[in-house]
Amino acid sequence: MDFKNTREFAQQLDAKDKLAKYRDEFHFPHVNGKQVIYFTGNSLGLQPKRTKAYVDEVMDDWAKLAVEGHFYADKPWWDYQERFAAPLSKIVGALPKEVTVMNTLTVNLHLLMVTFYQPTAKRFKIICEEKAFPSDQYMIQSQVKFHGYDPKDTIVEIKRREGEHNIRLEDVLAKIAEVGDELALVLMGGVNYYTGQVFDMKTITKAGQDAGAYVGWDLAHAAGNIALELHNWNVDFAAWCSYKYMNSGPGNASGAFVHEMHHNDFDLPRFSGWWGHNKERRFLMEPQFDPVRGAEGWQISNLPILSLAPYLASVEMFDEVGMPALIQKRDHITSYLEFILHEINREVNGHFEILTPSEPAERASQLSVFLHGEGRSLFEYLMKAGVITDWREPNVIRLAPVPLYCSYEDMYEFGQVLKAGILSHKK
């Protein structure tokens, strides 16, 4: 499609958008009395209006039933998490028994590493990407130290080539081959938080496993954002947060995936707790742990129902919409935003640069823009003008045109605000 940088054209795209009605399903902040243009769904998604009813239901059940809510609430608390299995499995491309919800993201990655990082004197190294999200870096470093190894000798980072912003697939595969028999684990982000690059998880997973290693993925920026086929890709394990693209609320519960090939391998170590125990015998209070045959067997504590309620509201909305429809709009609106950025850059004779790959298969709902010569003052101008975006050092703003609630007219309007901001800074 030939795009146009006009309000009329953007409004025409919105009129044809089959997902446009979902914009009204969300609460938007306001700046100076005007609804914001919200580009930070890759950090914290907006609140769905239907969330309140789900939370209120739990509060009412607690008030009326107290402890009996575990069994007699409309959605009994003791199996509340099971309602996520079907819709989440569609979002991440898994069997329902391969997914569960529990804890928070880094906690889940730590717990999954208990199972899938078992270093030996020969096979002990971990491959991750350069500039992974800091929490992943800290987690991996601490796991390595816990096992008595030196992170400098153990953690292998795949680096970008000189002058390039993104990591090449061939470099990932070459590094896996180079580490070879010393490789115990490949653990990377499915979508790089900084650049928005989407990695070829299928190919990397196969390469890592062919080298004799386990392969896991941090899907914080991938779940609810890109097409995933965790089961078919044979991924060993994965975890994701729910508060970015899945709009479950700040710091909310994490999702976890464990491939069915590991469900009956009871020699695999794990940290166990009673909520991972055989459901039918859980309340017999038996001394011997008998894990659920599935991802729920990695659960430890009973679930925080008040946190799960907003997440359930969100995944049921995703089930209504379907990932194919989300991805179709995601690709189109991201391309339109890219067009707008290039147009504004040309009009103002600017110098900003899009770090995110231009190939749609290598990106999702994020464009990271390096503001050469503009600085943080432009970011602050955008924020005061009601464009909520995200700053990353040294000079990058991240823009996430989330398809559930961003409009094409938002993209046009953002371009006009950006243009005015750049011109005002040149005076």
Question: Do 373 and 243 belong to one domain?
Answer: no
* Residues 302 and 365 placed together within one structural domain of the fold: no
Give the Cα separation of 208 and 132 in Å (integer): 18
Structural domain of 96: 53-321
Are 266 and 222 found together in one domain? yes
Q: Which of 289, 321, 353 is the last residue of a domain?
A: 321
223 and 333 in a single domain? The answer is no
Same domain, 314 and 355: no
* Number of domains into which the chain is organized: 2
Is residue 102 domain-shared with residue 183, that is, in the same domain?
A: yes
Mean pLDDT of all residues belonging to the chain: 95
Domain shared by 174 and 277, yes or no: yes
Residues 278 and 225 in one domain: yes
CATH code for the domain of 196: 3.40.640.10
Helices 51-65 and 305-321: angle between axes, nearest 10 degrees: 140
Average pLDDT over residues 336-352: 92
Does one domain contain both 308 and 359? no
Claim to verify: residue 257 and residue 386 sit in the same structural domain: no
Q: Are residues 201 and 285 in the same domain?
A: yes
| pLDDT interval class at 382 (50, 70, 90) | very high
Among 101, 107, 109, residue whose Cα is nearest residue 315: 101
Is 62 strand, coil or helix? helix
Q: Which of 321, 346, 365 is the last residue of a domain?
A: 321
User: 47 lies in a domain?
Assistant: no
48 domain residue, yes or no: no
Of the three residues 301, 321, 341, the one that is the final residue of a domain is 321
Above 70 in pLDDT, residue 380? Answer: yes
Summarised one tens digit per residue, pLDDT across range 269-314 is 999 998 999 988 888 888 899 999 999 999 999 999 999 999 999 9
On whether both 218 and 278 belong to a single domain, the answer is yes
Check residue 351 and give its pLDDT: 77
Buried b / exposed e along 197-224 (16+ C-beta atoms within 10 A): bbbbbeebbbbbbebebbbbbbbbbbbb
Which pLDDT tens digit goes with each residue over 138-163? Answer: 999 999 999 999 999 999 999 999 99
CATH number for position 417? 3.90.1150.10
Determine the Cα–Cα distance for residues 138 and 132; give it in Å rounded to an integer: 10
